[in-house]
Chains A and B, each alone.
Chain A
Amino acid sequence: MGRYIIRRLLQLIFVVFGISFILFTILSLTPGDPATLILGEAATAESIAAKRAELGLDDPFFVRYFSYLYNIFAHGDFGNSYRSGMPVFKEVFTRFPNTLKLALLTITISAVLGILFGVLSAVKQYTWIDNATLAFTLLITSVPSFWLGLMLIILFAVQLGWLPVSGGTDSIRGFILPAIAGSVGYMANTIRQTRTSMLDVIHSDYITMARAKGCNEKTVTFKHALRNALLPVVTLIGINIGWQLGGTIIIEQVFTISGIGTLMITSVRSKDIPVVLGCVTFVALLASLINLATDILYAYIDPRVKSSYTK
């Protein structure tokens, strides 16, 4: 088991380097002069030149890349924001808790409801429940999460006044509508995957065998079918968490939540490259780590995978 974990960690490190390299390359191709951006248009040519030297902007590409990496690993220094001068790390970390709360709530809603509807739909295949669920899934795949968010605001916040218009407050009330809006896309693919897995499993021989032993339908569904069907769903949820972290941007904008998403948007608009790079790399890294954790978890819960690594 340990060997599997180590192997995956090495893969992760490779992927992380790859991600940082790609992102660094893309963002270093941004036209415009960071020094001018920081010092303003009125700055003198000397001060600009001095600033460029300070930031190492005239160094060749690979020198800049490796010094960037070095700063991260040696000092935990992701650079400073062009706009505010504050360390990127600090900017990201002060806003991360809100994004995390939103992401966790969103994933919980999408996972729980997704699995529920997926199982229901599979067990009641060919009935109206199955058709209704499939239609529902199709609908929510096509609805943009931000539009749903706006509609929810109109209904619950403006008309009914039950929940606040903008989120990001300390209480969880501020996160409910954003989480619902953001969860629909992931709910749809969770429903689909759960349904497909369940259908596959339900038609297996060992399910007929379980019935032949005298098990009632409830036992067959939960003890035998679900435990097998959920295995691929676990992997999917892991992937969803990663994508969810990237997708909070739009929801944060709709509900004015001060999170990493809003930070990213302001940074892109103001060409604050270090912050953009820091945000995107941070989220991508987190997504990869979660994928790794999911894979390891999967290896534990599927006896077939587990035993192939613990001989």
Chain B
Amino acid sequence: MAKNVLEIKDLYVQYNCDDSTVYAVNDLNLTVADGKTLGLVGETGAGKTTTCLSILRLLPYKVGEIISGEINFMGEDILKMSDDHMRNLRGSEISMIFQDPMTSLNPVLTVGDQIYEVIHLHNSGMSKEEIEKKVDEMLELVGLPAERKTEYPHQFSGGMKQRVVIAIALACQPKLLLADEPTTALDVTIQAQVLALMQELKEKLGTATILVTHDLGVVAQICDDVAIMYAGTVIEKGSVEDVFEGENHHPYTVGLFNSIPDMSEDTDRLHPIDGLMPDPSNLPKGCKFAPRCPHCMDKCLKNEPPYITKETHSIKCFLFES
């Protein structure tokens, strides 16, 4: 059986603001298998980016706080590591791709320099020429001509910038890649290209990936497993077949799938889920989705539902208690 590259257990993360506390991640449980891609799906504000930043321990200083839980990377708890050890992990074992390629690259350094930096940081034994060769290789790998490494970020288009970011993230062949909505800021045709690239690289390098997205289409295309987040917790997870084609689903998942407009049907109106996601500084007791749930029962408003698991498919809902 493949080992799990990442195991998150009972994670709680909050942001301490001036006049309120934002409970961004609540009781998060998630695993990523070696070499597999996990799609992390949810609306804006569900806590997906916070999760990624927590894995790398890059939450904003003082404001972001990991309250409790475990994040086990290759068996070791990240939250117990020293700062130095953590820094060694970042960029070499675990990498991240950010959402907006326009702001992810340093404007005053050349693209080549920025790729060089990440390789040099984690490979102090390599000579300058060796690293430069690697930089060229990475650029070619993501589909950019190596000659362009002396150019600056503003000389590249959005899609090309994102390729550079991918090159930087994969330069040290990490075990785990955190991709935070890598294609959201790009237009659809470029999106397809970048996704195809990521798919290709995943097959070539065998990197496990957490792909954060709110686009179910993307999940269907390139993910192996799915976890659906709502108000800071995972309410349903399993393989892509489980979540897309299984017979039981969390009511929120049902709502998500129903809200996708169907090209073959004649409709007058779209079917969004009624209501709004709860204010993360003022979360309701019990199941966080209960106020919006068409199947809400009394006990849903009072108690946190447990995970009901059938083989690989877990749903956090009282409906499936047997």
Binding site for B on A (CB under 8 A): 126, 204-206, 208-216, 224, 227-228, 231, 301-304, 307
Give the residue of B53, B89, B98, B106 whose beta carbon is less than 8 angstroms from that of A214: B89
| B122 cross-chain contacts in A, Cβ below 8 A | 214
Q: Are B104 and A303 in contact (CB under 8 A)?
A: no
Distance between B212 CB and nearest chain A CB, rounded to angstroms? 14
Residue among B95, B118, B165 with most chain A CB within 10 A: B118
| A216 cross-chain contacts in B, Cβ below 8 A | 87
Q: Are B117 and A215 in contact (CB under 8 A)?
A: yes
Q: Are A206 and B106 in contact (CB under 8 A)?
A: yes
Distance between B10 CB and nearest chain A CB, rounded to angstroms? 25
B210 within 8 A of A: no
Report the separation of the CA atoms of residues A228 and B103 in the bound assembly, to the nearest whole angstrom.
Answer: 13
Q: Are A206 and B154 in contact (CB under 8 A)?
A: no
Q: Are A307 and B98 in contact (CB under 8 A)?
A: no
Which residues in chain B, 88-117, are within 8 Å of chain A measured between CB atoms?
88-92, 95-96, 98, 100, 103-109, 117
A to B CB contacts below 8 Å, 7 in the list: A205-B103, A208-B53, A209-B105, A213-B91, A213-B121, A214-B87, A307-B152
B62 within 8 A of A: yes
Residue among B105, B106, B155 with most chain A CB within 10 A: B106
Closest partner residue, chain B, to A215 (CB atom): B121
Report the separation of the CA atoms of residues A213 and B155 in the bound assembly, to the nearest whole angstrom.
Answer: 22
Q: Are A212 and B152 in contact (CB under 8 A)?
A: no
Q: Are B98 and A205 in contact (CB under 8 A)?
A: yes
Distance between B176 CB and nearest chain A CB, rounded to angstroms? 12
Residue among B92, B107, B122 with most chain A CB within 10 A: B107
Closest partner residue, chain B, to A207 (CB atom): B106
Report the separation of the CA atoms of residues A269 and B87 in the bound assembly, to the nearest whole angstrom.
Answer: 67
**Given A208-B98, A303-B152, A307-B152, A228 and B62 contact (CB-CB distance below 8 Å):** no
| A214 cross-chain contacts in B, Cβ below 8 A | 87-92, 118, 121-122
Give the residue of B62, B95, B106, B154 whose beta carbon is less than 8 angstroms from that of A212: B95
Give the residue of B53, B58, B107 whose beta carbon is less than 8 angstroms from that of A304: B107
Report the separation of the CA atoms of residues A206 and B153 in the bound assembly, to the nearest whole angstrom.
Answer: 11
| A209 cross-chain contacts in B, Cβ below 8 A | 96, 98, 104-106, 165, 168
Q: Are B106 and A224 in contact (CB under 8 A)?
A: yes
B13 within 8 A of A: no
Binding site for A on B (CB under 8 A): 53, 56, 58, 62, 87-92, 95-96, 98, 100, 103-109, 117-118, 121-122, 152, 154-155, 165, 168
Q: Are A228 and B107 in contact (CB under 8 A)?
A: yes
Distance between B169 CB and nearest chain A CB, rounded to angstroms? 8
Report the separation of the CA atoms of residues A208 and B96 in the bound assembly, to the nearest whole angstrom.
Answer: 10
**Known interface pairs A212-B56, A213-B90; 17 further A-B residue pairs with C-beta atoms within 8 A, sorted by A's residue number:** A126-B62, A204-B103, A206-B105, A206-B106, A206-B107, A208-B53, A208-B98, A209-B98, A209-B105, A211-B90, A214-B91, A214-B118, A215-B87, A231-B108, A303-B108, A303-B152, A304-B152
Q: Are A307 and B121 in contact (CB under 8 A)?
A: no
Report the separation of the CA atoms of residues A211 and B87 in the bound assembly, to the nearest whole angstrom.
Answer: 8
Report the separation of the CA atoms of residues A307 and B152 in the bound assembly, to the nearest whole angstrom.
Answer: 9
Give the residue of B96, B106, B108, B109 whose beta carbon is less than 8 angstroms from that of A302: B108
Closest partner residue, chain A, to B152 (CB atom): A303
| B152 cross-chain contacts in A, Cβ below 8 A | 303-304, 307
Report the separation of the CA atoms of residues A307 and B58 in the bound assembly, to the nearest whole angstrom.
Answer: 33
Closest partner residue, chain A, to B94 (CB atom): A212
**Given A208-B58, A303-B152, A213 and B168 contact (CB-CB distance below 8 Å):** yes
| A224 cross-chain contacts in B, Cβ below 8 A | 106, 109
Report the separation of the CA atoms of residues A206 and B118 in the bound assembly, to the nearest whole angstrom.
Answer: 13
Closest partner residue, chain A, to B102 (CB atom): A205
7 closest A-B pairs by CB:
A214-B91, A213-B91, A214-B90, A205-B103, A303-B152, A213-B118, A212-B96
| B121 cross-chain contacts in A, Cβ below 8 A | 213-215
Closest partner residue, chain A, to B95 (CB atom): A212
Report the separation of the CA atoms of residues A216 and B181 in the bound assembly, to the nearest whole angstrom.
Answer: 26
Q: Are B155 and A307 in contact (CB under 8 A)?
A: yes
Q: Are A227 and B108 in contact (CB under 8 A)?
A: yes
